Amino acid sequence: MEKFKNIKPVVAIVAGGYSSEYIVSLRSAQGIWVPLDKEKYDGYIVLITKEKWCVQLENRSEIPIDKNDFSFMLDGQRIVFDFAYIIIHGAPGENGQLQGYFNMLGIPHSCCGVLAAALTFDKYACNQYLKSLGVGIASSILLRKGESSMPEKIIAELGLPLFVKPNEGGSSFGISKVTSIEQLRPAIELAWEEGSEVLIECYLSGVEVTCGCYKTKGQITVLPITEIISKNELFDYDAKYNPGGAIEITPARISDKLTAEIQQLTAKIYDWINAKGIIRADYIVSSDNKIWMLEVNAIPGMTATSFIPQQVCAAGLNMTEVLTEIIEENFHGETH
């Protein structure tokens, strides 16, 4: 059967995934779909779960994806995607698996490659790598499921309070602030519900900020910094995604010097990890103005309450134009 000879490139907005971040990913997909230039691209939301891969049409009907070539049938014609905008938070979109799949099919995609994705997905490994390059990183311990955890030893090494979170994943699922020895084991068990590795970090006090950036045509664009003031004890899922859960101020209320240092550091991190598309790095600025990096997010959220859309707006940029730049940077105009 003849495949569809598309006039416009066909873009897959790939959402869903296997983790607790599934719902966040669906909301992020809408954050890509709405501003996508429909005059320039034919866009479809592709839902990936452990049970199915399918194109989700606007009338909510679903068409199965042929995984052999990432195509689908529409009105008797086979449509193969020319570009994949990956917006899955967590596996398999953020850990390199989908990137490898698209690489094998020769389909360009929006975010970093297999190695960079796998590195940033592993918070401990990424932080240790960046620490070796001089980035300020909190002292931490990595626990794998099945290893015995000794609260007394952990607290003796890292002190209290502590932050306990899954080593892989995001959106603050399974994260806890531990202020007493009795809270440590339950916090570890909670984090293990999200994955097989747990990251335990010493507490960093200060102003929490986050900074996004992207590179096109060899030029890096570093976005304005957002200051985060959580109304909860920590910036958890509720504070992130429920209106009123946090106060987010863009640009952040920090000095011009600190702003420049954080933006320069974010640009360096982008190159050090060999990123593509939009990334975001999160930081704590301590009372002595030292910059501590918390983690790198290679596929940051694009929901209505997410930081990147806020920062793009604060920079005076247009999200449609930013998405077009990113797609064109990685798409060489070839159609299947």
**CATH number reported for the structural domain that contains residue 102 in this entry:** 3.40.50.20
Report the C-alpha gap between 53 and 26 in whole angstroms: 14
pLDDT given at position 174: 86
**What is the C-alpha separation between 141 and 202, in angstroms, rounded?**
9
The parent domain of residue 39 ranges over 10-111
The answer to whether residues 256 and 296 belong to one domain is: yes
Q: What is the pLDDT of residue 132?
A: 98
Identify whether residues 211 and 317 lie together within a single domain: yes
Say whether both 194 and 54 belong to one domain: no
pLDDT at residue number 305: 84
Q: Is residue 330 part of a domain?
A: no
Q: What is the CATH number of the domain that holds 162?
A: 3.30.1490.20
41 vs 82: CA distance, rounded Å = 10
Angle ∠(29,107,18) on CA atoms, nearest 5:
45
Among 93, 111, 129, residue at a domain's last position: 111
Q: Are residues 104 and 91 in the same domain?
A: yes
Closest by CA to 206, choosing from 240, 266, 252, is: 252
- The predicted structure's pLDDT at residue 4: 46
CATH assignment of the domain containing 225: 3.30.470.20
Dist. CA 80–CA 22, nearest whole Å: 24
Same domain, 27 and 172: no
- The closest alpha carbon to 331, from 3, 142, 109, 161, belongs to 109
Nearest Cα residue to 164 out of 120, 197, 137, 128: 197
Q: No. of H helices and E strands in the chain?
A: 10, 17
Same domain, 242 and 288: yes
Q: What's the confidence (pLDDT) of residue 243?
A: 57
* The pLDDT of residue 2: 46
Q: Are residues 130 and 37 part of one domain?
A: no
Inside any domain, residue 225: yes
- Please state the pTM of the whole predicted model: 0.91
Q: What is the mean pLDDT of each run of 10 residues along the chain (336 residues)?
A: 65 95 94 97 97 90 96 94 96 95 96 95 96 97 88 95 87 83 94 91 95 96 95 54 75 98 98 97 97 96 92 97 95 48
Please check whether residues 124 and 179 belong to one and the same domain: no
Q: What is the pLDDT, as a whole number, of residue 294?
A: 96
Domain-located, residue 335:
no
Asked whether residue 24 is domain-assigned, the answer is yes
Confidence (pLDDT) at 59 = 78
- 174 and 186 belong to one structural domain: yes
- What is the rounded CA–CA span in Å between residue 300 and residue 313? 16
Tell whether 128 and 240 lie within a shared domain.
yes
3-state SS assignment for residue 105: helix
Domain count, the chain: 3
Same-domain status, 222 and 175:
no
Specify the pLDDT at position 304.
84
Q: Looking at the structure, do residues 183 and 82 belong to the same domain, yes or no?
A: no
